[in-house]
Amino acid sequence: MKKRHPHTLSTGDNNTVIALSETEVGKIFTGDTRSDIGSEALKLQFANKVNGLLVRFIRLDELNDEAEMLVMERLYPMDFRAYEYERRELWLDVFEEELHQLHKSGFVHRDLRRPSDMPGLTFDNIFLTPTGLRLIDVGISALREQVGERLFNRFVQQELTELEQFRLFFLAR
């Protein structure tokens, strides 16, 4: 059983995310995960330079000398079902444009839709916030320069399929 950390917000297959303050969260990496934490930090920093769609990277840190931690901005998700269809269309248009900007710049998220065998909501990594739709969790994201053109294009095509599924989900509720 995984260790339960104080202030846990969520727990995935590999990491736990905890609240550090009203403005920051920490994604905890235990064991020898330096390459994983470094890769996620790099991908967040890359995406943050393109636009504000992804959660903002703040710093790398330690958690009481027991684990490494990726510190990011804390997002407060809202329930999109409380908003009119027209407003959701606008948020979705901006989301799609920002996602396309990331693709053109060489970043693909790769986790808009969770695999059906994973627990959680289908689109857990997409949050509606006061500033619009935002993305979290870049664990399996990819940069074109790291995976090459062919693989990157395949990932983008899969993500565009997931984007269409999200569009139907987000507007049909």
Q: Look up residue 149 and give its two tokens.
A: 């053109």
**Per-residue confidence of the chain (173 residues) as pLDDT tens digits?**
466 788 999 887 788 999 999 999 999 998 766 668 999 999 999 999 999 999 999 999 999 888 899 999 999 999 999 999 999 999 999 999 999 999 999 999 998 987 655 555 789 899 999 999 999 999 899 999 999 999 999 999 999 999 999 999 999 97
CATH of the domain at 166: 1.10.510.10
What residues make up the domain containing 39? 8-73
167 within a domain of the structure (yes/no):
yes
Q: Return d(Cα 118, Cα 10) in angstroms, integer.
A: 14
2 within a domain of the structure (yes/no):
no
Residue 148's alpha-carbon distances to 39, 59, 142, in angstroms, are: 16, 28, 10
Predicted confidence at residue 1, as pLDDT, reads 47
User: Are residues 155 and 110 in contact, defined by beta-carbon separation less than 8 angstroms?
Assistant: yes
Residues 131 and 107 in one domain: yes
Q: Return d(Cα 109, Cα 159) in angstroms, integer.
A: 8
Predicted confidence at residue 117, as pLDDT, reads 54
User: Are residues 26 and 71 in contact, defined by beta-carbon separation less than 8 angstroms?
Assistant: yes
- From the list 96, 111, 102, the residue with the least C-alpha distance to 144 is 102
Report CA dihedral (85, 87, 89, 94) to the nearest 10 degrees.
-160
Our count of domains for the chain comes to 2
51 within a domain of the structure (yes/no):
yes
Last residue of a domain, one of 17, 50, 73: 73
Last residue of a domain, one of 51, 73, 95: 73
Q: Based on C-alpha coordinates, what's the Rg of the chain? A: 16
Last residue of a domain, one of 37, 55, 73: 73
pTM: 0.91
Q: Return d(Cα 150, Cα 37) in angstroms, integer.
A: 25
Residues 105 and 139 in one domain: yes
3-state helix, strand, coil in the chain (%, to 5): 40, 25, 35
Q: Return d(Cα 149, Cα 151) in angstroms, integer.
A: 6
Phi, psi of 53 (to 5 degrees): -70, -40
Predicted confidence at residue 34, as pLDDT, reads 60
CATH of the domain at 69: 3.30.200.20
